[in-house]
Amino acid sequence: MHVPDGFIGAPVSAVTGVVAAGAVAVSLRGARRELDERTAPLAGLVAAFIFAVQMLNFPVAAGTSGHLLGGALAAILVGPYTGVLCVTVVLLMQGILFADGGLTALGVNVLDMGVVTVVVAYALFRGLLKVLPRTRRSVTVASFVSALVSVPAAAVAFTLVYWAGGTTDIPIGKVFTAMVGVHVLIGIGEALITALTVGAVIAVRPDLVHGARGLTTALKLRVDGELVDAPAAPAPAPAAVAARSHRGVWATGLVTALVLAGFVSYYASANPDGLEKVAADQGIDKKTEEHAAKDSPLADYGVKDISDARLSGGLAGIIGVGATVVVGSGVFYVLRRRRAQDTPEAPAQDKETV
């Protein structure tokens, strides 16, 4: 659902850019509260994983494909504020390096694919967890539903932006029907990818899933025929929590992202995605402009001057994953350091207390 240059007029693009910048600023502040010893090392990896999976277009209807948006996945794994930043990093890498998504439309894309998907998905996710049993399976189910709904929600958001500033005169009702119809189907694929990924992480390290925190149930003991709460185990020291290695999860996630982008992406559907298909059918793309980075060595997810399509696309994917994980990890490392600097030290007497 990457909006190219020329779909939305300059005034509305400018307004969405300001709104998106404000949302990113709020997210930068909020992420400093979310990032800790568990999530900070993995947030950059989440961005890289989303980049990789977005290369895997899957067929959803005759002549149409879809791909992961990633807002729901990022919000559930690392938190909503950090999730907005993850998707924003991905969109920046795609727009600057790969000419995917217009640069003048960057605000539209961040608002649509980052902010709207995260806000809708995480609000629905938290609401579902309040009514579902407090189990890991409920987290997976809530992930599926929230991801499913987030995609047509993004389609509605694009329709509203197009209604406010579209550069072609197309009846808004036709745009709404076409966009929501195809993106409900794409949402099913989004939901499956999100639920499978969240379920896989929960299975091995539930403590790393932001959306699964606080779901542990107190251990019960049967005493004289009655169930009573077992004595609480002493809380682990912060140093002990930090000592729990993320290396295995980080390495597995990075290898998975590299394989998906560098190898599996070759077999992705070549059909246009939902927005491209609707734009072509409805005439939204009549005033599409050439991308400012069209001459990039990595434009269109291929390495310039490499004629072998498999090798060119695979190398581009690997470079993209590497660039995204480096930039994302750098951003989240700085935010984590800022949080540590802003946190006042405990009084000496408290430090000595066991």
Using the predicted structure, report yes or no on whether residue 290 has a pLDDT greater than 80.
yes
Concatenated DSSP letters for 198-219? HHHHHHH-GGG-GGGTT-PPPP
pLDDT at 223: 59
Judge whether residue 129 has pLDDT over 60.
yes
> Which two tokens mark 37?
């010893």
- Which of 76-90, 182-196, 284-298 is predicted least confidently? 284-298
Q: What pLDDT was estimated at residue 237? A: 47
Residue-level pLDDT at 351: 42
Any idea which of 221-235, 280-294, 300-314, 319-333 has the lowest mean pLDDT? 221-235
For the chain, domains (ranges, CATH) are 10-213+260-338 (1.10.1760.20)
- CA angle (296, 99, 54) in 5-degree steps: 125
Q: Which of 11-25, 64-78, 215-229, 260-274 has the lowest mean pLDDT?
A: 215-229
Per residue in 144-160, pLDDT (tens digit) is 999 999 999 999 999 99
Q: How far is 67 from 193, CA to CA, in rounded Å?
A: 10
Nearest partner of 271 among 61, 99, 27, judged by Cα: 61
Q: What is the pLDDT of residues 171-220, one digit of tens each?
A: 999 999 999 999 999 999 999 999 999 999 999 888 889 998 877 544 44
Query: What does the block give as tokens for 72?
Result: 């729901």
Q: Specify the pLDDT at position 248.
A: 83
DSSP characters for 160-189?
Answer: HHHHHHBSS---HHHHHHHHHHHHHHHHHH
What pLDDT score was predicted for residue 80? Answer: 97
pLDDT above 70 covers a percentage of the chain that reads 87
| pLDDT attached to residue 343 | 61
| Whole-number average pLDDT of the chain | 89
The letter for the amino acid at 103 is L
Q: How far apart are CA 53 and CA 320, in angstroms?
A: 12
pTM: 0.89
pLDDT at residue 236 in the model: 46
Give residue 195's pLDDT.
97
- The mean pLDDT value for 83-108 works out to 96
- Is 331's pLDDT higher than 60? yes
Kindly write down the DSSP assignment for every residue of 56-119, as one continuous string. --EEEETTEEE----HHHHHHHH-HHHHHHHHHHHHHHHHHHH--S-STTHHHHIIIIIIIHHH
Residue 235 predicted with pLDDT over 50: no
Q: Which of 2-11, 211-220, 341-350 has the highest mean pLDDT?
A: 2-11
Could you give the 3-state DSSP secondary structure of residue 221?
Answer: strand
